[in-house]
Structure 1
Amino acid sequence: MPITHLDEYELWQAARRLAHNTISERRRVLTQFFRETSVQPAHADPLIITRWIAEHDTWADSTIANYVGYLNAWFKWLQAHDHRADNPMVKVGTPKAPTRLPRPLSGRDVQKLLSAPTRMSTHAMILLAALQGLRVHEIAKIRTEDIDLDRQTLRVKGKGKKPAELPLHPIVGEWSRRMPDRGWWFPSRHYPSEHVQAKSVSRTISDQMRRTGVTGTPHQLRHFFATQLLADGADIYTVRDLLRHQNVATTAIYAQLPDEVRRDAIDRLDPWQSVPRLHGAA
């Protein structure tokens, strides 16, 4: 039995230009809810939703927060389109979002990834993640035309297809000479006129991490990028700009200030440098 209103909901999301991953994840969660409760998601009441969440005691706090967000978006849409009068999530409540900490790969791990033998395209993916801070879906869509070697810039389309122009890292610029003369850097194997999917980029980098004994995820290369910028003296607002975040709070999740930088800041703290010594003070 199909889920009531789901096709209409997906069409609305696509028209709003929501990310494909967002649409597919919302469908997956609604499908899982329907399969496990035998209740049409459009007709679910607060008790059923709460019980469904409570039964999955192995879910991480972040998973629960995401799923509650997906359900809330679903019921708000149902209300806005006159498919339902109330939003049961008001009674379910919003779980406290878990505290997220930066989790960058270490410089040694990144060196291992870049030093290990691999395909030219895989190496390029790792460079774009570690030295340009690109997300996997941004890496998938890189074209030779996005590289301007004269101006040393890189054009990318980020979340919501928002364009940005970034400074080109010299190593990425040099590596670009080995990539195709035009078109996609990473064309689809089955459809060469199209680029690979983001999950293909993620899988390719993950496989290389596994081969080299590096523990982590491809997204942690973006955390490395942010952390290394901060460690090398870039201020948090510059890091935010290069990551293309809307606010510094999000950037703080990515950039981990190294212990030696924090220690140096404490060691250099001297009240007598900024405040004139009081007359007659010992």
Structure 2
Amino acid sequence: MKKLLKTKQKEFLLFLEEIRGYSDFTIKSYDGSLNEAFLHIEAMEEKGHILLNLMPYRIKIASLNPKTISKKLSAVRSFAEYLNDNGVRVVLKADESIKIAKTLPKPIAHEHIVEALLSSELEERVVVTMLYTLGLRISELSSLEIQAVSKEWVRVIGKGNKQRDVPLLNSSKKLLDEYLSKYKRNKFVFEKNGEKLSENSLRYMVIKVFRRVGLKVSPHQLRHSFASQLLNAHAPIADVSELLGHSSMATTQIYTKLGSALKQQNYSMAHPLCGIKES
């Protein structure tokens, strides 16, 4: 059992490097977390799957702060998800999540996105443009069908199979038409061998595009950028929430906090009294 997990761990780290595009530091962090975890996790074979009991490990790290515990457990969950996606069925026991304070998302500046688009190939440009101008999740982009795209709207199937319609910019429609005329697709906007392109393939494409301009960017950051741009331009939060496919406006409100933080920063830089030290 331990030999199998160790072999799969090496494959997982290679996957993080080559497909997910993670930095050496992040990969070493995952490796260290998994090595530590498997000193304490109980691993046993059950009928048709491997059971990983996290409780002994959770007891070991219980004194650490919640954010650290969450990161350590996240490494194990990511490894288990990788195994399940690659033919090794894994069940986690004692896998309750740790509550930690929400952090603000990190949107990408518009000028950086434009710079990355200028150095991208056609398919890459379409992927980044669709994520940035439609605010899609990577799973939604992977599943996007050609017939869901009209002249002015895109019908998106989100979480829980909920449908929403998102406006399609003229420039985005022209770019998409150019792409579809060059690459003949049967059903999905992004395909390979007749099947929809995987989320990992699309994610790696985004990583490559921004790596060329010296940035590390995830697809979800482009979704953050979409939301932040709209809210900073005074779009109603209810409209933005609907465009993002959020089930609650409370989820969207984290972006308003980001806008407030930027306003405070700009104020501090601009107001003449902010540079005067108190005596």
**TM superposition score normalised by structure 2:** 0.63
Q: Distance in 2 between matches of 1:125 and 1:93?
A: 35
AA partner of residue 167 (structure 1): P
Are 1:51 and 2:54 counterparts? no
AA partner of residue 187 (structure 1): E
Q: Distance in 1 between matches of 2:43 and 2:226?
A: 45
| Structure 2: gaps of 5 or more residues | 3-32, 45-49, 79-92, 268-279
- 1:277 corresponds to: none
Cα displacement string for residues 42-92 of structure 1 (whole angstroms, at most 9, x for unaligned residues):
69585x14235459999745435758999xxxxxxxxxxxxxxxxx95xx9
- 1:126 corresponds to: 128
- 2:161 corresponds to: 161
Which of the numbers 90, 99, 102 marks the counterpart of 1:99? Answer: 102
| Counterpart mapping for 1:221-232 below 5 A | 221-232=222-233
Deviates more, 1:101-110 or 1:124-133: 101-110
After superposition, the CA RMSD in angstroms is 3.9
Evaluate the alpha carbon distance shift between residue 115 and residue 50 of structure 1 in structure 2; reply closer, same or farther with a 3 A threshold. same
- 2:71 corresponds to: 63
Which of the numbers 168, 171, 187 marks the counterpart of 2:191? Answer: 187
Cα displacement string for residues 143-177 of structure 1 (whole angstroms, at most 9, x for unaligned residues):
3222111xx11012212333222221222112121
Q: Distance in 2 between matches of 1:184 and 1:68?
A: 33
Deviation at residue 100 of structure 1 after TM alignment: 1.6
8 Å CA contact 2:246, 2:252 repeated in 1 = yes
> Larger Rg: 1 or 2?
1
| Counterpart mapping for 1:18-33 below 5 A | none
**TM superposition score normalised by structure 1:** 0.62
- 2:138 corresponds to: 136
Q: Distance in 2 between matches of 1:202 and 1:69?
A: 19
- 1:18 corresponds to: none
8 Å CA contact 2:41, 2:53 repeated in 1 = no
Q: Distance in 2 between matches of 1:244 and 1:134?
A: 9
Higher fraction of strand: 2
- 1:280 corresponds to: none
Deviation at residue 194 of structure 1 after TM alignment: 0.5
- 1:257 corresponds to: 259
AA partner of residue 232 (structure 2): A
| Structure 1: gaps of 5 or more residues | 3-28, 71-87, 266-282
Q: Distance in 2 between matches of 1:179 and 1:43?
A: 45
Cα displacement string for residues 192-216 of structure 1 (whole angstroms, at most 9, x for unaligned residues):
2111100110000001110122233
Q: Distance in 2 between matches of 1:186 and 1:228?
A: 26
- 1:271 corresponds to: none
Q: Distance in 2 between matches of 1:184 and 1:45?
A: 39
- 2:174 corresponds to: 174
Are 1:216 and 2:224 counterparts? no
8 Å CA contact 1:157, 1:163 repeated in 2 = yes
Q: Percent identity?
A: 25
Are 1:145 and 2:147 counterparts? yes
